[in-house]
Amino acid sequence: MKKLIYNCAILITKATSALIKLVHAGAGTNLPGRIARRIAPDILSHLINQSKKEIIVVTGTNGKTTTSGFVAGILRQDGRKTAHNKRGANMLSGLTAAMIQESSLNGYLNADHCLLEIDEAFFVKAVDEFNPEYLIVTNLFRDQLDRYGELDTTAKKIKQAIAKTISIKPLTLVLNADDPNVAALGDNFELKKVYYGFNEVEFVNQEGKITAPAEVAACSCGEKYNYSKIFYGHLGHYYCNCGKSRQQPEIIASVKVEPESSILNISSKNQGEFKVKINMPGLYNAYNALAAISLSLELGISKEIIIVGLENYSTVFGRAELTYLKGMPTMIQLIKNPIGATEVLRTVKDDPKSRMLIIINDNYADGRDVSWLWDANFELLSGYKKLVVTSGVRASDMAVRLKYAGISKENIKPIENIKNAIDYSLKQLEEGEKLYIMPTYTALLEMQGILGNY
């Protein structure tokens, strides 16, 4: 009887997802999963626990989708079959839909690894249904305060998930040593911890000293951390007067960040030193790559496989993805919080061939509170002289923010309808120019349906 229920849920979910895509109503990443969970509430646990090898979870504020994409590419290069929520739907319904798409109609999941990007606020719920052997935490920034609360709240939820998991099975943490909030997640737990971080960061043909929104990072003694190096936000080399300081990483790197790529020099005890190039812009993506490298080394994957896996990586939709719309080059980069938006702006502000479309929604998955727009450093665009189009539910709010950032109101055009805004922006492009589209999460999902018709 149970098998029949699973099979029914899988069949209906696959059919629903196919129908959604057929009528261009979206990517079919969440609704099918909700339906499946109504039919068979334990179907996610049933599928994921078929994993032949380790279950891997990636969580954190920024970089989950790209980091898990890097990991998937390396595992694939190593000949491992991976079931992965590659489209980035990272709440329980999205995980369920993704695992069903990876399974056969009779409920068989043929995977060496289940690789799961999970929303940091939902991770504590997810471990009631399955438990990972490996957990990567990328970073912790202020993000959608109306949904998550302050950083302490998010960190406590992740710690609760860790505690639940280690009461059932061993867990290895792969943690960003440069983020004090992440590094502290391993405190007071008896488990294996692997730390990664950068010793040196060099920006090539870019302005290196760009002010990112300030984040308060405090030591467990209550004092605010001091820094000998800050890379962005509160990520860097920190220390406290009480004697506590940044954890020395097992995986150490230096990086040269170029406008469209980065070169990482890695040092590890097991594989020695090696160099990797990633074809994605931004220091934030270099951090994502370093997280994936650290996990892969821990899994015993050779540096040769890691290098090829990363260099062959294809970007996920909306994560620094270069595509062509009506024959025009278009870069799509998700923005959803002050730090992430500022780092994206760093990569586009100095491009003389850029045109910009910023799409801001305030749906539940975006966070209803868009006050973060005032924390993001849009002042980086103060010298920008071309037209900027704003769109989405909060197109007017974004237009006001740009005006206060120093852009002339004559160079700001709000167009709330996303398709109309994309069409208008493409018409403005001149020979050799590139359109940068910066959407929030639900705007990105809406774009997936729209761009299917281009």
Is the separation of the CB atoms in 300 and 268 below 8 Å? no
If we measure between CA atoms, which residue out of 379, 322, 331, 383 comes closest to residue 352?
383
Q: How far apart are CA 385 and CA 353, in angstroms?
A: 12
Residue appearing with tokens 């970007």: 315
- Does 54-105+112-311 match 319-451 in CATH topology? no
pLDDT tens, N- to C-terminus, the chain (454 residues)? 788 888 888 888 888 887 877 776 666 677 888 998 999 999 999 999 999 999 999 999 999 999 999 999 999 999 999 999 988 788 899 999 999 999 988 888 999 999 999 988 889 999 999 999 999 999 998 765 444 456 788 889 999 999 999 999 999 999 999 999 999 999 989 999 999 999 999 988 666 665 555 566 788 888 999 999 999 889 999 999 998 999 999 999 999 998 888 999 999 988 899 999 999 888 999 999 999 999 999 999 999 999 999 988 877 776 777 889 999 999 999 998 888 899 889 888 878 889 999 999 998 878 888 889 998 999 999 888 899 999 999 999 999 999 999 999 999 999 999 999 999 999 999 999 999 999 998 899 889 878 877 7
Is the separation of the CB atoms in 30 and 94 below 8 Å? yes
Options 4.10.520.10, 3.90.190.20, 3.30.930.10, 3.40.630.30; CATH of 319-451: 3.90.190.20
**3 state DSSP class of 110:** coil
> C-alpha distances in angstroms, 194 versus 135, 237, 293?
10, 17, 11
Domain residue extents for the chain: 54-105+112-311, 319-451
Is the separation of the CB atoms in 98 and 115 below 8 Å? no
Q: How far apart are CA 135 and CA 174, in angstroms?
A: 6
The residues facing 251 across adjacent strands are: 196
The residues facing 323 across adjacent strands are: 330
Active site residues: 369
Answer whether 0.75 is exceeded by the pTM: yes
| Helical (H) or strand (E) element with 175 | strand 172-176
In the structure encoding, which two tokens stand for residue 80, read together? 């491992």
- Sign, CA dihedral 234-237-241-247, equals positive
- What is the per-residue DSSP string for 251-301? EEEEEEE-SS-EEEEEEETTTEEEEEEESS-SHHHHHHHHHHHHHHHHTT-
Domain spanning 54-105+112-311: which CATH class is it, in words? Answer: alpha beta
